[in-house]
Amino acid sequence: MDTFSKSERSKIMASVKSRGNKSTELQFVSILKDKGITGWRRNYPLIGNPDFVFLRERTAVFIDGCFWHSCPLHCRMPASNENYWNNKIEKNKIRDKKITRTLRAKGWQVIRVWEHEIKSNKVNHKLNRMHNKSLR
């Protein structure tokens, strides 16, 4: 049972500033640099706040954490407060799909990379796909 009312908890949670998944993003930066991939920007103001934007290629890259974005391989819901977490994660998935559709409708290529793909270095296929499309 929460010690705060629903509105108080909402205010508290709204004031918490997201720090993102910095270590995963930094690993991705390292991979980009190792492969000699340039032209990317971070913190670029675009719909959905992609983690990386390639302006020339009109490509938005999202680094999706396995828990927060419900990776089918690794997402394990907490046993406590099940309804809250199921609703929260489901809303994240709906928001992700909406952002992807919106960006694609505006002519952007959207690439979503799972956290585990970076950690296991399986991200190379997606980077190659992105690079090949930019050469067209």
Q: Is the Cα torsion angle 19, 69, 116, 100 positive or negative in sign?
A: negative
Q: Exposed/middle/buried for 44, CB within 10 Å: 0-12, 13-18, 19+?
A: middle
Confirm if 19 and 9 have CB atoms less than 8 A apart: no
Domains of the chain: 20-42+51-128 (3.40.960.10)
Per-residue pLDDT of the chain (136 residues; tens, 9 = 90+): 677 787 877 776 666 555 555 788 888 998 899 888 999 999 899 999 999 999 999 999 999 887 767 777 776 776 787 888 888 888 989 999 999 999 999 999 999 998 888 877 677 777 777 666 654 4
Q: What is the pTM of this model?
A: 0.76
Number of C-beta neighbours around residue 28 at 10 A: 23
What is the distance between the alpha carbons of residues 108 and 122, in angstroms, rounded to a whole number?
Answer: 23
Confirm if 130 and 50 have CB atoms less than 8 A apart: no
Confirm if 93 and 75 have CB atoms less than 8 A apart: no
